[in-house]
């Protein structure tokens, strides 16, 4: 999630919406409570050694995975990888969402939040489907004609394999196979590795509210473009530039497939839906930018 830690509002509370401004409005408060309770349940099942079923059933999985269920489009928004993942998401949700909920009211903000989460999940699943199709084609090509040279080419093309398996073991296998290319034992080991990698890749889960939070970030930048956001407390930047730069960085990292297990296109999907929703809702009242 973002590295920002503070923001400065350049508008008065009375400009947001009639009545009392709530620092912790009800939808955001309840979302934070639910997310905290789910995290507690995750940690409890983890301590009991039964946490895998929670991830398998409620986290978002590739459509090609046997673990995929439609309800995961929503339930993955309430799961988090660890406490800091939860903390950053909830802080960002409050940081940008409280202005939006005070502006729109609880009902519209709740609809907005879940639509952004669905948009994030949709774009992420599309990305996973494209990546898995390409990966599966490469694996099938190798399985049909296993050679140490194809194995080497595959490893160079799919560096993420080293996230799941020992780099030392893979390197030893490749070097030994290159030395003895006719040894079928090395071919069998490489084929087993490929099949295992395909299985673990297609079943890798996605969790977190980041997609919905990025929707709130995009909406905030659209409605309050000149509001200052302080990065690390010291570096002020207007919200509109922060959103543009952040979205550009996510797109660049997503295309490069960098950033470890971060679902960059899920973030972009949430931001895109957030932007489109607020643009549609605001198109007849576009002069009101705070």
Q: What is the pLDDT of residues 176-198, one digit of tens each?
A: 999 999 999 999 999 999 999 99
Among 202, 217, 243, the domain boundary falls at 202
For residue 124, is it within any domain?
no
In-domain check, residue 288: no
Please count the structural domains in the chain: 2
pLDDT computed for residue 257 by the predictor: 67
Q: Is residue 287, in this structure, part of any structural domain at all? A: no
Q: Model-level pTM?
A: 0.84
Residue 187 CB neighbour total at 10 angstroms: 18
Domain annotation covers residue 125: no
Place of tokens 């408060």: 29
The DSSP line for 204-245 is --B--SHHHHHHHHHHHHHHSTT-EEEETTTEEEEHHHHHHH
Q: Which two tokens stand for residue 176?
A: 């030994």
Let me know whether 186 and 220 are in one domain.
Answer: no
Q: For the chain, give the longest Cα–Cα distance.
A: 79
In a domain, 231, yes or no: yes
Helix (H), strand (E) at residue 4: strand 4-8
> pLDDT for 9-29, tens place per residue?
433 334 444 456 788 899 999
84 and 24 belong to one structural domain: yes
Whether 30 and 98 map to the same domain: the answer is yes
Are residues 214 and 77 located together in one domain of the fold? yes
For the domain that residue 254 is a member of, what is the CATH number?
1.20.1540.10
Q: Can you give the pLDDT at residue 286? A: 52
pLDDT under 50 in the chain at which residues? 1-18, 258-259, 287-290
Residue 100 and residue 14 in one domain: yes
Judge if 30 and 57 occupy the same domain.
Answer: yes
Query: Exposure pattern of 113-151 as b/e (b: 16+ CB <10 Å)?
Result: bebbbbbbbbbbbebbeebbeebeebbeebeeebebebb
Residue 20: per-residue pLDDT: 63
pLDDT at position 261, please?
62
Residues 186 and 231 in one domain: no
Which of 174, 202, 230 is a domain's end point?
202
Q: Is residue 24 part of a domain?
A: yes
Could you tell me if 11 and 99 lie in one domain?
A: yes
The pLDDT assigned to 227 comes to: 82
SS3 content of the chain, % helix, strand, coil (to 5): 70, 5, 25
CA 15 to CA 99: how far, in whole Å?
Answer: 11
Check whether residue 181 and residue 266 sit in a common domain.
no
Asked whether the beta carbons of 22 and 102 are under 8 A apart, the reply is yes
Sign of CA dihedral 53, 59, 60, 61: negative
17 and 140 together in one domain: no
Residues shown for the chain: 290
16/102 same-domain check = yes
123 within some domain? no
Domain boundary among 143, 172, 202: 202
Contacts of 118 (CB under 8 A, 6+ apart): 73, 74, 273
Question: Is 35 within the bounds of a domain?
Answer: yes
Q: Are residues 53 and 153 in the same domain?
A: no
Residue-number span of the structural domain to which 30 is assigned: 4-118+207-282
């Amino acid at each position: 999630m973002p590295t920002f830690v503070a923001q400065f509002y350049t508008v008065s509370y009375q400009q947001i919406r009639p009545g009392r401004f709530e620092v912790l409005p009800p939808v955001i408060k309840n979302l934070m409570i639910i997310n905290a309770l789910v995290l507690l349940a995750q940690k409890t099942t983890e301590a009991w050694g039964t946490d895998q079923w929670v991830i398998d059933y409620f986290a978002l999985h590739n459509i090609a995975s046997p673990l995929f269920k439609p309800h995961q489009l929503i339930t993955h928004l309430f799961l988090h990888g660890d406490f800091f993942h939860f903390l950053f998401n909830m802080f960002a949700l409050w940081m940008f969402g409280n202005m939006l909920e005070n502006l729109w009211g609880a009902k519209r903000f709740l609809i907005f939040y879940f639509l952004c989460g669905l948009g994030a999940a949709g774009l992420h699943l599309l990305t996973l489907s494209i990546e898995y199709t390409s990966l599966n084609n490469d694996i099938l090509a190798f399985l049909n004609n296993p050679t140490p040279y194809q194995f080497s080419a595959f490893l160079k093309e799919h560096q993420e394999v080293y996230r799941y398996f020992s780099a030392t073991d893979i390197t030893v296998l490749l070097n030994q196979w290159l030395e003895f290319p006719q040894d079928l034992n090395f071919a069998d080991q490489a084929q087993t590795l490929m099949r295992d990698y395909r299985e673990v890749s297609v079943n890798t889960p996605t969790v977190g509210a980041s997609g919905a939070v990025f929707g709130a970030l995009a909406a905030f930048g659209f409605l309050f473009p000149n509001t200052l956001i302080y990065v690390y407390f010291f570096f002020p930047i207007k919200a509109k530039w922060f959103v543009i730069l952040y979205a550009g960085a996510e797109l660049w990292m997503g295309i490069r497939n960098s950033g470890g297990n971060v679902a960059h296109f899920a973030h972009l999907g949430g931001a895109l839906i957030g932007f489109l929703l607020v643009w549609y809702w605001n198109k007849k009242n576009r002069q009101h930018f705070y």
